[in-house]
Structure 1
């Protein structure tokens, strides 16, 4: 049960309600958005950023979801794994495959670029101050600098979402299958 109340679209100032509608096209994140709605600037800037990044789509959905599920598994965020593992399934990684992303080196559903994305998500989440230049040399073989910047930002932001979601303990929305992230 959520530690704070969950607001709805109707609780937002009128000028932010169209953003709520855009947010729902991103996925069933109404509880997360409803908690953010306690502070309209947080709701506005977070969801404007996410909607804009989705509209511009410089990263493939597969690589983005690989990164987000990896971070959420590392941080044991059931809310985010539940929301993003199904999106990863649409991109061709099975439910079992999503559950074992952290064992990426011999993962049969991942190609070399996928494995690099998972490796990088782990590095940004756990080893940001010890990551070698060699990783960036390999990233540059497959991604532009803009894509590397966005991938890094999305991984770091996902870690922030994991903490926000878990500390406030809001429920997973009705209809979203619960995918346990904790061991």
Structure 2
């Protein structure tokens, strides 16, 4: 059980309830997370629409986004986020077994050069952001546009925020996330 109660969307003003439901129904099985974030209307009003807008813009390839999220979530040992994003990464062509050993990225047979670059950057940006080698950034610039590099960095650091938020408040994994992980196609 979460450390604070889940707020039902029916308890919110209509504008916030609409954001809550749009996110909970369209983004993926994150209802418990949004139900806790609903305690802070500004977070609900700004974070959830931003995530939805980023997804709709498709600036960054989904495979690279999900790789970064799963790597950072593994670094932070956030079971909630790994469990929720593992199915999204599986849809992008990495086997469940491959996802389980994603931290062995250097020799990973399911990752291509760009995938490895994303994993390396996710680790560096999360663990030592003030010491990222310029050579790594230049390799990224050879593959990604500046907008993609900014979004990748945003999503890596935002993922770390959500990892800590979910763990600190002990947000429970939704039953729907288990269903998604069992082979059903994730939404969004």
Q: What secondary structure does 1:156 align onto?
A: helix
Residue in 1 that maps onto 2:166: 165
Equivalent residue, structure 1, for 2:147: 146
Could you tell me how far 1:125 is from its partner in structure 2? 0.9
Q: Deviations over 1:16-75 (max 9, x none)?
A: 222123212110101000000001111111101101101111011100000000000000
TM-score, normalization: structure 2?
0.92
Structure 1 residues 1-183: aligned runs within 5 Å: 1-23=1-23, 24-177=25-178
In 1, Cα distance between equivalents of 2:83 and 2:11:
26
Gaps of 5+ in 1: none
Distance 1:84 1:123 in 2: 20
Give the C-alpha shift of residue 9 in structure 1: 1.4
Q: CA deviation at 1:175?
A: 2.5
Deviation at 1:156, TM superposition (A): 0.1
What runs of 5+ residues in structure 2 fail to find an aligned partner?
182-188
* Alignment size in residue pairs: 179
Provide the secondary structure at the position in 2 that maps to 1:6: coil
Between the aligned partners of 1:122 and 1:66, the Cα distance in structure 2 is 11
